[in-house]
Amino acid sequence: MLSREQELELIDILRGVHPDEFGLDEELWTRQSLTTLIQRRFDLPLDAGGVGAYLRAWGLGPREPRERACGLCVSAVERWVRGEYPAITRAAQEHLAEVYWIGRVRLRGTMPAADVISAVSSRGRVRFMITTPTVDPPLPRDFVLRLSGEEQRTVHLIVDGSWPRNEWPRRLPRRIVLHPLPSCGRAVAA
């Protein structure tokens, strides 16, 4: 188990960098790449389950769609899940694509503050990056492109209310399809 000091050091190490910068074979951070980094950096043999506990404590991991909405939007999100989400999953299956739910959470107790941008696949796979928050940052184009990977897989990305549509990357390759989750524009606290 990491000490609190080691956990804060790890967050600082991850800030703004990707696994491939450490010689790891991943586009974005995953439980596996984080496990490897922790073993290398702290000589600590954590298993993937232990690292998963840190990710859940950081607010990453599968969440129900209603948990991604503010209280005013819950019914709109539930209608969207019943009406539009099935068409997205069918389109993804037809294109052998993966569906990811994208959002942002603020890590508490870090100095300087840290935001985690995460994508959770419909299969529960978490991919993420840690950034230093700025006022109203746009959805990072680099993050979206890295979800598609070097293989340039087709991905369908469901974007929660963390970013208004005018903050989404423009001119993305056709293999990357963004879908807005209904939102009234209020940020959802993690």
pLDDT by residue for the chain (190 residues), tens only, comes to 899 999 999 999 999 999 999 999 999 999 999 999 999 999 998 988 899 998 888 888 777 777 776 777 888 889 999 999 999 999 999 999 999 999 998 887 888 888 999 999 988 889 999 998 777 778 999 999 999 988 899 999 999 888 888 999 999 999 999 999 987 765 544 4
Is the pTM higher than 0.75? yes
Are the C-beta atoms of 157 and 178 separated by less than 8 Å? yes
Cα 161 to its chain centre, rounded Å, is 13
- Closest by CA position to 8, among listed 54, 63, 39, 43: 54
